[in-house]
Structure 1
Amino acid sequence: MKVVVIGAGLAAMASALMAAEAGHRVTIVTKGIGGLGLSTGVLDVYSWAPDGSPVSDPFDFSSLPPEHPYHAIGADAVRDGVAWLEEHVGLFGARPVGAPERNMWIPTPAGAVRPAYAVQRSMADSVLRDGGQYLVVGFRQFKDFPAQLIADNLARSPHVRVTARAVTLDLAARSGEADSNATAFARAFDGRSREVRESGFYTEFGEQVASALAAAVRPGEVVLLPAFCGLKHDATAPLRAAIADAGGAGLAEMMIPPPSVAGRRIYDALLAQCREARIDVHMNATVTASSGENGRITRLLVSRAGRETPLEVDAVIDAAGRFESGNIMRNSRKEFRETIFGLPLAVGENPWTTGVVVDSAMHPTNELGSPIYANLHLAGDVIAGSAPWAEKSGEGIALGSARAATNALGKD
């Protein structure tokens, strides 16, 4: 089958790769690079219940309202999708012993704590434990990581009992630069050389950071750094070795505000796999129209570089997102519309949960619950009924719906 996937976020790229693995010919059509660069790089399934209480078992959806997409997707598809990402990306570590399906407490960029299902290996030591001692390390040139505020908030958390203090290093990512972003620091760790120095780093900058951390850490402390220790290379391993030599208990990256180096790592890994799978990626492209017959889409019209090109399709997976991407829009009269296929929308009490209702095969459905198009499937944020920013369910919905949608290909 020829499958077109719309979008380039986690749901879209996972759908494209899953479809390619199933033997389909896949094309991605996307306006840009998707939202992974704005994500935290943490894998969330379900963290906060509607009443604001923390969720221990992220695959237990019984507390969610009936319109939530997890009920259509199903826990098995979510498990399979999450396991697929962990296996394919290679950035995530093994689950903690005794907690195969349990959320863990991790620090936020403001020093609050929240549950999360999985973190990247470089973040493993940021999983908070009662009695832990933490040294939060900021950089004077990186303004998006207020180390003292983070440490103060961690020490007063009602969810974990920890002690925390802070230090701020004066190490510029680029010489003479007083204000650097996360990408600049990641490149300072990566450098241009492919050769590893005797110290285990690729650059002198990494060695300078290790020396400063070894001088600052106290015995038994876990060092928490902003999540920017390399895009191409993992600098946390030699940093962890330097901390161990100085008596520290561990070292980890922790989440930072977007743009996110940790999210970019996931995007880069998935994009590389798309290229290896010979998936055709149409960047800076927009689906402007569709046509078909007998309840099936047979052709998409794609606008790219001033030209409109028809694409013949056997199936479509729409993972173009919600308001952020412009896939769902609201006009001055507060009327919502889905911009690609004109699908009906379910508008909840919270208008930001507006989206398209789907069945278990991720088909968009009408008010009677019947599929609108037999070969159109949805994945990710375009599906109605979730508030991923509040419940922390974005990755679970993206991956679970991608798995459910690709499982349904060819069965229509």
Structure 2
Amino acid sequence: MRFDTVIIGGGLAGMACGIRLAEAGRRCAIVSQGQSAIHFSSGSFDLLGRLPDGQPVSDPVAGIARLAEQCPAHPYAVIGAENCTRLAGQVPALLREAGIRVVGDSRHNHFRITPMGKSKATWLTIEGYLTTDEPDKYPFRRVCIANIEGFLDFYPEFIAEELNRRGVECRFGNFNHPDLEKIRRNPSEMRSANIARVFDHDADLEALAEALRHQAAGCDALILPALIGLTRNDSLEFLRQRVGLPIHLLPTLPPSIPGIRAQQALQHRFRELGGEYFLGDSVLSAEIEHDRVRRIFTANHGNIPFEAEHFVLATGSFFSKGLVATPDRIVEPVFGADTLHTPNRAEWYTLRFFDRQPYQAFGVRTDPSLRVMKQGRPLENLYCAGAGLAGFHPVQEECGAGVSLLSALHVAELVLND
């Protein structure tokens, strides 16, 4: 099978890169072994929340401009501050074209409310989820926090405690529906995706609206767990019109509805543009000649290779097995690429779980053009994008989604200009 570009990995980076290349008319394939980390998404996309020294960032663009001073190996520093600023400006349109409507901008972090009621700085948030411009100010004074009976992945009491501290009066509501009884028989089935499938039907959504309208009477707004809109885009507006109040969603424990919806939307957009998506397949080996990848072989296609002018490695980090830890080194399992890591395993981590863990900055070694290094030499047509890149701490710096998106778009430009 012959393509212009083959992307290995179907997460946020792989999908964004594939979409941008397909938009430019390139024939692309994505090989993805399974569900990506997008399924665990909270509904927000971070760009930069903290500098490497821990200083909070309110203006991500300004923060990126300062990154190179503290961490020259950071992907943003490698891509360049000006390029990052330009690419960040392109991301909202890319997401919206895929049907993911977001709010926010790259010059000012807003605050998204977490499943525990805390406020967290972020870059872009999917419309409908509870956000504020300031961490201690909310667009309501009296709110009803409603939950489905028996749903354990949502915590109204914790949310109310945080809101009470900021002067918001809270009350609780519960709702049920006969169509939920079948999945309620097994507690392990009472998960957000299964519940959302019930409320994808008009009659069930109408019944939910009626129950919420009575429970939220006298309140300024209503907060719901994200249990609607798995396969339809109008669920939230449907409820808002019938309840007659502002309704805000909060993400639940993963797998999350906003994450599943985002993954589905990106896949649909890629295929709509002519891309070919091979789900449930994994790369077993690659043929490399004269510092160029010629072809790759996958589990599902046996001796039928994938051939391309360019390849993109977007397999992620440890979570998705894009990187594998052995007793003495960090391995990139697809191409045997060089990796950046500390030789002494005792220095890979600290015993304090929430500390800045050194291993999180381990990753694939690249040249300044994000071409993958192997035995000290760049592979001319193999690029790396996303969480597998070395030099950054996605959790502490609150930049995981931003690195995935910006590196993916940067790699797409490099491929198009090659």
| TM > 0.5 | yes
Task: Tell me which residue corresponds to 1:198.
Answer: none
How far is 1:177 from its partner? 4.0
Task: Give secondary structure in 1 for the equivalent of 2:214.
Answer: helix
How far is 1:38 from its partner? 1.7
Render the CA deviation track for 1:92-151: whole Å, top value 9, x for unaligned. 2454xxx67311112111111101112112225676662532432222221000111111
Unpaired segments ≥5 residues, structure 1 = 192-201
Task: Tell me which residue corresponds to 2:337.
Answer: 343
Sequence identity, in percent? 27
- 1:272 matched to 2:278: no
Task: Give secondary structure in 2 for the equivalent of 1:49.
Answer: coil
Contact kept? 2:384, 2:411, Cα under 8 Å: yes
Task: Tell me which residue corresponds to 2:345.
Answer: none
Task: Give secondary structure in 2 for the equivalent of 1:391.
Answer: coil
Q: What amino acid sits opposite 1:257 in the alignment? A: L
Task: Give secondary structure in 2 for the equivalent of 1:304.
Answer: coil
Q: Are the structure 2 counterparts of residues 387 and 226 from structure 1 closer, same or farther at C-alpha, using a change threshold of 3 Å?
A: same
How far is 1:228 from its partner? 1.9
Contact kept? 2:386, 2:405, Cα under 8 Å: yes
Task: Tell me which residue corresponds to 2:239.
Answer: 239
The within-5 A match list for 1:10-409 is: 10-59=12-61, 60-61=63-64, 62-63=66-67, 65-74=71-80, 75-95=84-104, 101-123=107-129, 130=137, 132-133=140-141, 134-156=143-165, 161-172=166-177, 174-178=180-184, 179=187, 180-191=190-201, 202-203=202-203, 205-217=204-216, 219=218, 221-233=220-232, 234-244=234-244, 248=245, 250-304=246-300, 307-331=302-326, 333-347=327-341, 350-365=358-373, 372-409=378-415
Contact kept? 1:136, 1:164, Cα under 8 Å: no
How far is 1:207 from its partner? 2.3
Unpaired segments ≥5 residues, structure 2 = 343-347, 349-357
Task: Give secondary structure in 2 for the equivalent of 1:372.
Answer: strand
Contact kept? 1:37, 1:260, Cα under 8 Å: yes
Distance 2:95 2:175 in 1: 35
Task: Give secondary structure in 2 for the equivalent of 1:290.
Answer: strand
How far is 1:367 from its partner? 9.3
Q: Are the structure 2 counterparts of residues 168 and 267 from structure 1 closer, same or farther at C-alpha, using a change threshold of 3 Å?
A: same
Q: Are the structure 2 counterparts of residues 347 and 281 from structure 1 closer, same or farther at C-alpha, using a change threshold of 3 Å?
A: same
How far is 1:56 from its partner? 1.0
Q: Are the structure 2 counterparts of residues 13 and 162 from structure 1 closer, same or farther at C-alpha, using a change threshold of 3 Å?
A: farther
Contact kept? 2:323, 2:331, Cα under 8 Å: yes
How far is 1:79 from its partner? 0.9
Distance 1:17 1:140 in 2: 40
How far is 1:237 from its partner? 0.8
Contact kept? 1:81, 1:399, Cα under 8 Å: no
Q: Are the structure 2 counterparts of residues 367 and 73 from structure 1 closer, same or farther at C-alpha, using a change threshold of 3 Å?
A: farther
Q: Are the structure 2 counterparts of residues 85 and 44 from structure 1 closer, same or farther at C-alpha, using a change threshold of 3 Å?
A: farther
Distance 2:317 2:90 in 1: 21
Render the CA deviation track for 1:352-407: whole Å, top value 9, x for unaligned. 22102334432124797xx6111111111010122223322122111101110010
Distance 2:92 2:120 in 1: 22
Distance 1:126 1:237 in 2: 20
How far is 1:289 from its partner? 1.7
Task: Give secondary structure in 2 for the equivalent of 1:33.
Answer: coil
How far is 1:4 from its partner? 0.3
Structure 1 length-normalised TM? 0.86
Q: Are the structure 2 counterparts of residues 53 and 188 from structure 1 closer, same or farther at C-alpha, using a change threshold of 3 Å?
A: farther
